[in-house]
Amino acid sequence: MYGRWFDWFASRADRAAALSQAAQLRDLVSLEPTCKWAKLTLAHTLARLKAALRCAAAAAARGVGGLADEAGRLGDEEAAHLAELADLDPLRKGYYASLLAAH
């Protein structure tokens, strides 16, 4: 019982931290649109957040589509940033393509 509560609590804390970090990184990307490190960190943060939301959606009762929809939206945003990174950093295009394939 405690283990399930701890997993739930940790996933909520991780989601809150990832949401906060994603908001800050979105601001940074809007200020520096060609900064590949900000975009890459945002893409990784969105992937972590998407995974947490998918786990929460899977654990939730059937009929709750909000978390799955949000995970899909974050996945689309992640894919867009990875595509932009491939254009900004052509030497690592294969790396970004592999991240996008795992998307």
Average pLDDT over residues 87-102: 90
The pLDDT of residue 3: 43
Spatial distance between the Cα atoms of 55 and 97, rounded to a whole number of angstroms: 24
Q: Which one has a higher pLDDT value, 7 or 71?
A: 71
Amino acid at 65: G
**50 phi and psi angles, rounded to 5 deg:** -60, -45
Site of tokens 């490190």: 37
Break the chain into its structural domains and give their ranges: 2-102
The pLDDT of residue 48: 82
Give the three-state DSSP class for 34: coil
Encoded tokens for 31: 């200020």
